[in-house]
Amino acid sequence: MTLLKPPTSARIEEMAQKIRIKVKRQTGTDGPVRWDTFEIPYKTNMNVISALMEVRKKPVTTEGSTVEPPVWDAACLEEVCGSCTMNINGNIRQACSALIDDVAEPMGDVLEVVLEPMQKFPLIRDLSVDRSRMFDNLVKLKAWVPIDGSYDLGMAQAQDDHVRQFRYALSRCMTCGCCMEACPQFSEKTSFVGPAAIGQALLFNLHPVGKTLSDERMAVLTSEEGITNCGNAQNCVKVCPKGVPLTTAIAQLNRDTTVHKVKKWLGIAG
């Protein structure tokens, strides 16, 4: 029996003639859904955003209908801002760094890409969603260092090198929302703040000045919006494109919230 080997990247480039892009079309969460299929000539090294830009130049479906160009978000085009996050062939990731050669499904001489918006945030239109909830949760958790004014703060306090390295890993979060999309506990039906905000709460709790707001963060993390919602499914850490150590942060804050509750019971927490 001869086993068919999947085509290599070089073989895909040799075979592919066209890129087929299927886009889920909808305006607002309650609007009617339809799918539009577009085909564009294959070029090497295209990413999903450059393919969508080709479609926008001539938004004619494979049935020959001229339609409104698909709507999507993008800003940095270098996987830094997180705004282009969408479901690409069922996987959540950034469209600007998703190379067609890597993400498309080869079908004869066509490479197929199916694009859907994130499901956990309210839909604006097509591939564009309203991610405000994610930013509102950062505000709730006071994910900042409280230094108002321009006076001389003096030398920064030295930090343990392990803590510094861990904080650097947490600081790589670009608020893209992939972890919320994958988290079974984060949905419009729950008030859970989600893994990214928890990671940022720890980032600022570990900061020499940021920790002055730690009791206020703990009050949110021990509330019904907080950390007890986490079912430890670990989906979040698997999909994070920046390798943010989310489950390590959740485990550490779980311990810290227990200490906070004891301090509260003793009347020595804020």
DSSP category for residue 213 = G
For ligand SF4, the closer of residues 98 and 240 by Cβ is 240
Q: What angle do CA 132, 134, 140 make, to 5 degrees?
A: 100
Q: Of these, 40, 240, 249, 253, which contacts ligand SF4 (CB under 6 A)?
A: 240
Q: Of these, 176, 201, 206, 220, which contacts ligand SF4 (CB under 6 A)?
A: 176
For ligand SF4, the closer of residues 180 and 218 by Cβ is 180
CB of 126 to ligand FES, least distance (A): 16
Amino acid at 233: A
Q: Does 141 bind ligand SF4 (CB under 6 A)?
A: no
CB of 56 to ligand FES, least distance (A): 15
Q: Are 147 and 209 in contact (CB under 8 A)?
A: yes
Rounded to an integer, what distance in angstroms lies between the CA atom of residue 208 and that of residue 224?
28
Q: What angle do CA 203, 204, 205 make, to 5 degrees?
A: 95
Determine the residue with CB nearest ligand FES.
96
Residue 87 phi/psi, 5-degree rounding, is -90, 120
Q: Which of 99, 100, 73, 67 is nearest to 86 (CA)?
A: 73
Q: Does 50 bind ligand SF4 (CB under 6 A)?
A: no
Residue 213: both structure tokens together:
């707001």
If contact means CB under 5 to 8 A according to the sort of partner, which of ligand FES, ligand SF4, none does residue 269 touch? none
Binding site residues, ligand FES, CB under 6 A: 74-77, 79-84, 94, 96
If contact means CB under 5 to 8 A according to the sort of partner, which of ligand FES, ligand SF4, none does residue 177 touch? ligand SF4
If contact means CB under 5 to 8 A according to the sort of partner, which of ligand FES, ligand SF4, none does residue 199 touch? ligand SF4
If contact means CB under 5 to 8 A according to the sort of partner, which of ligand SF4, ligand FES, none does residue 231 touch? ligand SF4
For ligand SF4, the closer of residues 26 and 257 by Cβ is 257
Residues 6 or more apart whose CB falls under 8 angstroms from that of 42 comprise 16, 17, 18, 19, 111
Q: Does 127 bind ligand SF4 (CB under 6 A)?
A: no
Residue 116: left (phi > 0), alpha (psi -120 to 50), or beta? Answer: beta
